[in-house]
Structure 1
Amino acid sequence: MKTIHYKFLVVLLFFLAQGNLLFAQEEKTHYLTVTTMHWNTEIENFSLEDWKKMEKEYFDKVVMKNELILGSNVVSHYFTADNTEIVFVTLYENWDAIDKAWTRTQELVKQAWPDEKVRTAFFQKRRSYYDNVHSDEIYVTMPEAKRMDKIADKQMIYYVRKSYFEYPKEGTEKEFDELNKQYTDAVTRKNDFIKAYYTYAHGWGSNSTDFVEVYVIESLGDLEKAFAKDDELFKAQWKEEKKRDEFDKKMGKYFTKTHSDYIYRSIVGLEK
């Protein structure tokens, strides 16, 4: 995907990212929070099934009933630098909704577990699955997404590419948007191996130049096929090598020469 062709350099996350998050079709800016947790590697007799059962209970009783949460997803490490990563991604309509959703969550928690002792026990048990360290990022959604028609009923692969913006003097927002749309329309939307594609820019976090792309693929094997199809479609749209080089040069000036790649797996049943 934007292998050599800078096709909108991408994170996630969360990471990630995002993937099956569904929201309005108009190009409206939304906010995405990405919380990266880590498995508690000291827990004895760890059961992925028991963990999922607890998270599913919380998901059904709180996340699904919180009208301020437009979308939610959970993905886990597949090929990343840290095998303990478990990433929680949540979509909101605007910045204010993030705070209001937290308040609404507290209300729903008390409704779902009215007995304080039962509630405390549930959340202590839930918390025991994770390490004490976590990180948070907030991203702003960008236009030209390729969305899935519905939430997948099977595990999907999330390829996340994090790149970093440059701000060239000769560049303009108009040119950037036009180049992005040209590539997305000619390549990404036509690539059947790419089931969904999302882009995010820094909203709040450690690096203000972050640019994250998330590709949703059915399998790891299809990821390589998607790369090859991207190249084929790119050459079909810009048939002359000179034209391809010109496009790459125009797009390339908006990004640094470095990027990082991550691959995650979705957790089926924990998607809104």
Structure 2
Amino acid sequence: MKYLIVIFFLLTLVLAEGNKLYAQTPQGNVMIITNLERAFPENGSMAEFDSLTHQYQTKVWDKNPYVISHRTVRHWWGHDNRDVIEITEVKTWEDIPKAMAKSNELFMEAWSTKEARDKFNKAYDKFFTGKHSDEIYQEVTFKK
């Protein structure tokens, strides 16, 4: 039994290290894509939505050192006008949790009281149904 455990451990170690040989080194930046379903509240306007989105952009995304770029786009033309897509670009996979933690920190600084955060969240959240999806992509790069 002792030898079986040792052999199992060594085999696991070899396989784990062997997988690194086949892994490709990441080349491009990482894109976090969030697709949100927009609601159309009677007590809200696109001007209000744009203003709230701009506030968050300038107070959080633009100040986040881990975020290379961030865009919020809303559906403009086609069969389904409910899509709002957020595209956040970071350098590496490891930067994702750092960027999210820093965004949370910047949000807490920008809206420094619980009342201010609740007011902003209530105003912004009314524009969404709660349905969304999150995906992470890596930029495609080509070797020359």
Q: Bin the TM-score by the shorter chain.
A: 0.7 to 0.9
TM-aligned CA deviation for residue 206 of structure 1: 5.2
Equivalent positions of 1:12-31 (< 5 A) are none
What amino acid is the match of 1:248?
N
Of 48, 58, 73, 1:175 maps to 48
Write the distance in 2 (CA, Å) between the matches of 1:192 and 1:246.
26
In structure 2, C-alpha distance between the alignment counterparts of 1:204 and 1:175, rounded to whole Å: 20
Q: Which amino acid aligns with 1:239?
A: S
> Where does residue 84 of structure 1 map in the other structure?
none
After superposition, the C-alpha distances for 1:58-96 in whole angstroms (9 at most, x for unaligned) are xxxxxxxxxxxxxxxxxxxxxxxxxxxxxxxxxxxxxxx
Give distance in 1, aligned partners of 2:73 and 2:46: 15
Query: How far apart in 2 are the matches of 1:200 and 1:177?
Result: 10
How far off its partner does 1:184 sit?
0.7
The aligned residue for residue 66 of structure 2 is 193
2:119 corresponding residue in structure 1: 246
1:110-131: CA deviations, max 9, x gaps? xxxxxxxxxxxxxxxxxxxxxx
1:192 is aligned with what amino acid? Answer: P
Q: List runs of 5+ in structure 2 lacking aligned partners.
A: 1-26
Q: Cα offset for 1:203?
A: 3.6
Q: What's the TM-score once normalised by structure 2's chain length?
A: 0.76
Whether 2:144 is the aligned partner of 1:268: answer: no
- Matching residue's letter, 1:159: I
Per-residue CA distance 1:129-179 (angstroms, 9 max, x = gap)? xxxxxxxxxxxxxxxxxxxxxxxxx41111100001111111022211211
- Displacement of 1:199 in angstroms is 2.2
User: Aligned partners of 1:234 and 1:223: how far apart in 2?
Assistant: 16
Q: Secondary structure at the match of 1:160?
A: strand
Kindly state the Cα deviation for residue 219 of structure 1 after the two structures are TM-superposed.
0.9
Aligned: 1:159 with 2:32? yes
Output the aligned Cα RMSD.
1.6
Give the 4+ runs in structure 1 shifted more than 6 A.
Answer: none
Q: CA deviation at 1:208?
A: 2.1
| Percent of paired sites with the same residue | 32
Tell me the equivalent position of 1:79. none
Structure 1 residue 253: Cα displacement: 0.2
The answer for the alignment partner of 1:49 in structure 2 is none
Aligned counterparts, 1:96-111, within 5 A: none
Q: CA shift at 1:255, angstroms?
A: 0.7
Greater helix content: 2
The correspondence for 1:215, drawn from 82, 88, 96, is 88
Please list, as runs of the form range in 1=range in 2, the aligned pairs for 1:4-19 lying within 5 A after superposition: none
Q: Which runs of 5+ in 1 are unaligned?
A: 1-153
User: How far 1:198 sits from its partner (Å)?
Assistant: 1.7
| Aligned amino acid, residue 207 of structure 1 | D
How many Å separate the matches in 2 of 1:238 and 1:193?
20
Alignment of 1:128-139 (within 5 A): none
Decide whether aligned partners of structure 1 residues 255 and 182 sit closer, same or farther in structure 2, where only a CA change above 3 A counts.
same
Structure-1 separation of matches of 2:124 and 2:77: 25
TM-score for the superposition, normalised by structure 1: 0.41
Secondary structure at the aligned position of 2:85 is classed as strand
User: Any idea what the Cα deviations from partners look like across 1:216-238, whole Å, max 9, x if unmatched?
Assistant: 11111100111100110001111
- The reply to whether residue 235 of structure 1 matches residue 126 of structure 2 is no
Structure label with greater radius of gyration? 2
Q: Give the length in aligned residue pairs.
A: 117
Q: Which has the higher contact order (CA 8 A, sep 6+)?
A: 2
Distance in 1 between residues matched to 2:123 and 2:76, nearest whole Å: 25
